[in-house]
Structure 1
């Protein structure tokens, strides 16, 4: 009812302004009388407007618009002053405004531009907020998880009207922006009331596309080898890193899109952005090289003069393309810094990569503990580095190799594969403070609960791979594993996650504890179910058990241990390996569970809550 009332208020307010004209204070006024012939003409114009209804009903909308324009033009010619505006004038104005409301609202010409400017950036293929996409008419008709977006003929019952009209800023759309104008809201409401019809050419095309003038076809000239400037090496990288953020998507700044090479050569709103062979006529060169002050790129980012000069020379040489596909996104053609680094590492020999890992261990240790000298002990698969004694480091190395041999026997690697390229770093600290510094310094100040004495960190493509732990001693207790068990757990976690894929924390830590070597009847093992049950007692949505950040850092291990044990007991090692394989390529844990176990995450979570403790 609040929505209906709010909408009614807006309509009443708008109609009052439209039909009544300026407010007039009560009291005696002196008005000049309109000449009789003018009043007669106004009455005739009002009579003419009655034809608008018939014309619209007969689908002769252009004729109806022409009639309305004729009346508006004649009113402007008459130039009736305020003190001459009598009942004949206000009656004509009222009829005129009502006639305008009879004209069908165009989706493409009127509604689509509103949605494109205010809504599509949050509701497109990349970011469909609320599971709602507004980038095409077809997607609009699919609605959102809250229901249909618009109910033809019933604006007051349509979700979009409720969202754009609500006075609650937390619920109103567009989010974190000014409320749409009353005129825009009225247009959308009238469009829905008139049937929410589509008047474009293609329901699957970007909304409002037909209102954009068609640009001439782009002629792409491929490079012939005579060029001194390479588009792919010298121009494309800074376009991707500096320009693409503002000049891409559904509403690029200035109407200029640089997502693909073909779009780069297309003109923006200002006209000739790039004229091959003529940098002096190319507006982009003015923007990045010649204007004072330079206007592009906007914001703090700046193109280096060497880059701007390379762009100018590339245009002078004909703006040739030396890439694979001018229709492909430039981002897919230009490697990122991470990809360049990955390629550099991939090209390194195994010997150089192993040396890099040893140097990396010393470098990371110096970051974390600059005052405590670290020493290194290497084995076939490990770089053990820390500030415990040499003998203790060697013992950790022997424990690690022994446990790793068991893992490789139990969970086979492809023939000829190594567990980790260049070895895995094992950091061992004598004091707990030094271990906590790994979290403080390298993990942005991450808190280290007292019950946690180690963690694993692995990145894709083997750039950085280590486990860090505090030497907790050789005695196991209800609150702590022994140092050897902790090492086994962390190595198992790193072995499982050796590709650097984004596996859930519960899976990594649970698998690590399962393979730690602790006896099922040990004090620590017997304490795990109680800790897990306490953590699970707050869960109301069983599907959330499988998501990261559901549990506190010191709860993940106990819950993960029970969960991995439950999954192996109810599906075997094969099922959990299938789950891991799916998650290695797609981090959506719900989809991976459905593929591996043939049921939803909610159903599997409920089964675990009931039987897995």
Structure 2
């Protein structure tokens, strides 16, 4: 049996081992609130507010762990959804920070060693380890015990067995599901070691930090010509921070705070106040010592270099209020600075910017394949399909722009600042290649044939579509309907991160269905909705992001939007979307626009589904 299969079975065993218990109404309510908090993290990521998104995910995960420890079963449907969404958000956070996917695995030093140190060393420490298995050093892990079997093959079954006499840790309660999952995933990822020495005692790293000498923080005297906060901190945060923040900063050099900057890393202090030539950071930035910093293709400007040099010469003074405060709070992010630059562009300059970005995206996805393109008042259409096909897509897009203006009573300026780019790939391979190269998405579901990307400052504004052809079926909406779908999603994403995914996806599918009333894809999409909503914790959770897995969320959103338009009319739905964009709280907006509660509206929706099924 291959390890992924073993891993799945072990996770199932882990859940069963700890028994099943009923979920109370209060716990269901807490799960729903946690799910909503994870959804909020998605909105923060769309705003590129990575630190706040990570904070929201950390809080949500802590609350979820508390519920699991309190007896909520691991196989509770909403628990699985929340865990998957937390995992996806953490991956998105890491990618926005420039980390590579292969660096996002489970850390032995930070995640596995603390579990072992707290639970296993009583029996498997240095003195007379049971079964000859020493777990107090990583070298002991590699050597294994008397059975000579691979550690993963021995350890995981003993952690997850339902036989209390055989289960480890011996003589105490089982590990939590989260702890077992961490160990199993670490083994699945190759049981990699990321500490300093394989022979070091587990837990030494934590002990080493107790007697550290904290750096002396010098304050300005008034004669300095360079400010750390204004001139140096932006470099540290936006360039150095890409590798030297988080739980496992490269070289143990953490620049999250000024105190961390002055403390240095595994080689000691990297800044010697008053002496650039004795400051390792300056030597690496100057390419006088290896490795050169910043690494790879990153470069600093001459202005950055001169400011760093002068700041060190002038004593490396700190002109902020608290050296323990995150430097990110002191300086605008690269995204914020970019937003200010874009805000100064004229309409024509923004269109030129859109062309440049679009061509760069295409070359990144298809470096050896030129694209044709067509341009209209509202759109730039790029693709590797014939030019006539691009013109056809451009015509459909222009028609949908008129329909969107009518539906949402939008007048005046272009719908998207700098126009919207429509990328069309000739086949599935091309679509997945674009998603991987440009969007860092390697796990696009087979049922997804397009996506929209819009940043709040319109730095990016595009949709990507796989050409599905013109033939429609219960399994494929065809390209024309997909154009309508993702244009509507792009319209709702214009500078807006408050709208829940069900509203964005549902509106896109609703608009697509209206554009092609005889398309057999949409009746089939609706067919599974009734079963999906029966599994939710309560009727008001229908409007909460993260309640449904992605495969169900779009279909439920489509049926729900269709019902809202039927129940209140297009104008009221447009008002609902407008207010939801501003407030971000579906419950409040439902009360204001539809004069009812979310639970009552959800119940009426479910009854409508049942009635339509009976016709």
TM-score of the two chains, using structure 1 as the length reference: 0.52
**Cα deviation, residue 381, structure 1:** 0.8
CA distance in 1, matches of 2:224, 2:365: 50
* RMSD of aligned residue pairs (Cα, Å): 5.7
Match status 1:418 vs 2:414: yes
Q: Which residue of 1 aligns with 2:481?
A: 485
Q: Which residue of 2 aligns with 1:453?
A: 449
CA distance in 1, matches of 2:233, 2:445: 46
Task: Give the number of the structure whose alpha-carbon radius of gyration is greater.
Answer: 1
- Cα 1:324–1:380 change in 2 (3 A) is farther
How do 1:21-40 and structure 2 match up within 5 A? none
CA distance in 1, matches of 2:371, 2:283: 51
How do 1:90-239 and structure 2 match up within 5 A? 127-128=58-59, 167-170=173-176, 220-221=219-220, 226-227=225-226, 232-234=230-232, 237-238=235-236
Match status 1:344 vs 2:341: yes
| Deviation readout 1:267-319 (Å, 9 max, x if unpaired) | 9xxxx999987999xxx9589879xxx9999xx99x99998996574254255
**Structure 1 SS opposite 2:482:** helix
**Cα deviation, residue 561, structure 1:** 0.7
Q: Which runs of 5+ in 2 are unaligned?
A: 1-53, 71-117, 120-170, 184-209, 611-615
CA distance in 1, matches of 2:378, 2:331: 35
| Deviation readout 1:216-256 (Å, 9 max, x if unpaired) | 998843756745x765323553267647998999xx9xxx9
CA distance in 1, matches of 2:271, 2:282: 12
Residues 260 and 330 in structure 1, CA contact (< 8 A), matched pair in contact too: yes
Residues 381 and 419 in structure 1, CA contact (< 8 A), matched pair in contact too: yes
Match status 1:527 vs 2:528: no
Q: Which residue of 2 aligns with 1:499?
A: 495
Q: Which residue of 2 aligns with 1:93?
A: none
CA distance in 1, matches of 2:262, 2:428: 59
- Larger RCO (alpha carbons 8 Å, 6+ apart): 2
CA distance in 1, matches of 2:472, 2:456: 33
Aligned with residue 595 of structure 1, among 564, 580, 588: 588
How do 1:145-544 and structure 2 match up within 5 A? 167-170=173-176, 220-221=219-220, 226-227=225-226, 232-234=230-232, 237-238=235-236, 242=240, 313-319=310-316, 329-370=326-367, 372-413=369-410, 417-443=413-439, 444-449=441-446, 451-499=447-495, 501=497, 503-516=499-512, 517-518=514-515, 523-536=520-533, 539=536, 543=541
Residues 568 and 576 in structure 1, CA contact (< 8 A), matched pair in contact too: no
CA distance in 1, matches of 2:498, 2:218: 43
How do 1:20-99 and structure 2 match up within 5 A? none
CA distance in 1, matches of 2:609, 2:216: 63
Aligned with residue 563 of structure 2, among 563, 566, 569: 566
**Cα deviation, residue 493, structure 1:** 1.2
- Cα 1:391–1:421 change in 2 (3 A) is same
**Cα deviation, residue 425, structure 1:** 0.9
- Cα 1:224–1:552 change in 2 (3 A) is same
- Cα 1:224–1:322 change in 2 (3 A) is farther
Residues 436 and 448 in structure 1, CA contact (< 8 A), matched pair in contact too: no
TM-score of the two chains, using structure 2 as the length reference: 0.52
**Structure 2 SS opposite 1:348:** coil
- Cα 1:176–1:223 change in 2 (3 A) is farther
CA distance in 1, matches of 2:338, 2:461: 15
Q: Which residue of 1 aligns with 2:549?
A: 551
| Deviation readout 1:534-566 (Å, 9 max, x if unpaired) | 54455456527733483344x443221112223
Residues 256 and 326 in structure 2, CA contact (< 8 A), matched pair in contact too: yes
**Cα deviation, residue 351, structure 1:** 2.1
- Cα 1:439–1:606 change in 2 (3 A) is farther
Residues 223 and 320 in structure 1, CA contact (< 8 A), matched pair in contact too: no
**Structure 1 SS opposite 2:414:** coil
- Cα 1:550–1:436 change in 2 (3 A) is same
Residues 423 and 464 in structure 2, CA contact (< 8 A), matched pair in contact too: yes
- Cα 1:369–1:167 change in 2 (3 A) is same
